[in-house]
Amino acid sequence: MDTAAIYAHFAESQALNGGSPIYQDWARGVAADPEVCALLDGLPEPKRQPNLLFAAARLVGAPSDGWASVRPWLLAAWPDVERTMRTHATQTNEPRRCATLLPTLAAIDGPIALIEVGASAGLCLYPDRYSYVYTAPDGARTRLDPAGGPSEVLLPCAIEGPVPTRMPEIVWRAGLDLNPLDVRDPADLAWLEALVWPEHTDRIETLRAAARVVAAAPPRLVTGDLLEVLPDLVADAPADATVVVLHSAVLVYLTAADKAAFAATMADLRRARGAVWLSNEGWTVLPDVAARLPEGLSPQFILARDGEPVALTDPHGRSVRLL
């Protein structure tokens, strides 16, 4: 798919998913702009993606205006934007996804050693440190707090299916990423904020609160490739804990061959260590998982346990439908 088509597709997805009107306008503008597309084509292919361009532009100082105003700014600021795109990656760290993961995590008995692949800054490694309010289809609301009391991070989530009644018992946690971020570093935190779509101010407030929780007890974050580092990280986990390997919106960046290799690695870890694999990915990312869904469903994200779908989730953690 050429660059213009990528941006046209992104604009369409923003319209379908109720995403960012600003980004939809920018993406349409880029798709129809040969000069800007030519600048993007000078970057390595993985660096041409819309979320990376738009977040980099905002980090550099792009106005939150329409494309007609942003275009001349972008052309003038292109050297700085390009430099930012080359040195950064899309590492959206959405703590609200913990609300969609918690019911499945809470169903695992006993102590858990939680490992997140593509952990970014590790905000999703702390589902037991956040508070939740689940709203059922009939309007009934259930609140769940950590054992130590209410958290400053309160995650609202619409739920269809059984509401969790307990927190998972997470006794050890670690993450791996090609470029881990540190929420105690103002530059890293600024990048995380830039990755949040401009209209989603509520997500910014949640991210900042989660960053304070994580900064108080930073997780172990390992730099490396998931196919190379994960087995060693699993080996470091406590022997008496169930290892849960989690990832969310990560495998979309892998080639088909690497996704197959990762699935094979998880199969090996299940046999050798009893590891549980929780994948939370777009429905086109893992075709074998999507093929196991009941007919008639049109999910955005599929949460699967060991390759079997267990829930449909909103990409930003707003809702979960347990299957």
- The pLDDT of residue 279 is 97
pLDDT value at 299 more than 90? no
pTM, rounded to two decimals:
0.92
CA–CA separation, 173 and 171 (whole Å): 7
On whether both 75 and 148 belong to a single domain, the answer is no
Average pLDDT score, the chain: 95
Task: Verify that 138 and 39 share a domain, yes or no.
Answer: no
Contacts of residue 28, defined as CB under 8 A and 6 or more positions apart, other chains included, come to: 7, 8, 11, 67
Give the count of domains, the chain: 2
Q: Identify which of 3, 91, 2, 13 has the alpha carbon closest to the alpha carbon of residue 284.
A: 13
Instruction: Write out pLDDT tens, residues 59-77.
Output: 999 998 999 999 999 999 9
* pLDDT per residue as tens digits for the range 248-295: 999 988 999 999 999 999 999 999 999 999 999 998 899 999 999 988
Q: How far is CA 264 from CA 22, 259, 260, 277, 295, in A?
A: 40, 9, 6, 11, 27
Taking only the tens place, the pLDDT of each residue in 213-248 is 999 999 999 999 999 999 999 999 999 999 999 999
**Domain finish residue from 87, 122, 145:** 87
Q: Which pLDDT score is estimated for 194? A: 96
CATH number at residue 161: 3.40.50
Q: How large is the average pLDDT for residues 183-209? A: 95
Residues 288 and 158 in one domain: yes
Q: Is the model's pLDDT at 131 over the cut of 70?
A: yes
Q: Tokens at residue 141, please?
A: 């609301």
Write the DSSP symbol of residue 125. Answer: G
Share of the chain above pLDDT 90, in %: 91
Q: Which helix (H) or strand (E) holds 142?
A: strand 141-144
In a domain, 92, yes or no: no
Is residue 64 located within the same domain as residue 18? yes
Q: Which domain holds residue 316?
A: 97-322
Kindly state the greatest CA–CA separation across the chain: 59
Task: Check residue 18 and give its pLDDT.
Answer: 63
**Residue 297's pLDDT band (cuts 50, 70, 90):** confident
Q: For residue 196, give Cα distances in angstroms to 55, 99, 201, 207.
A: 8, 18, 8, 9
What pLDDT is stored for residue 296 in this prediction? Answer: 79
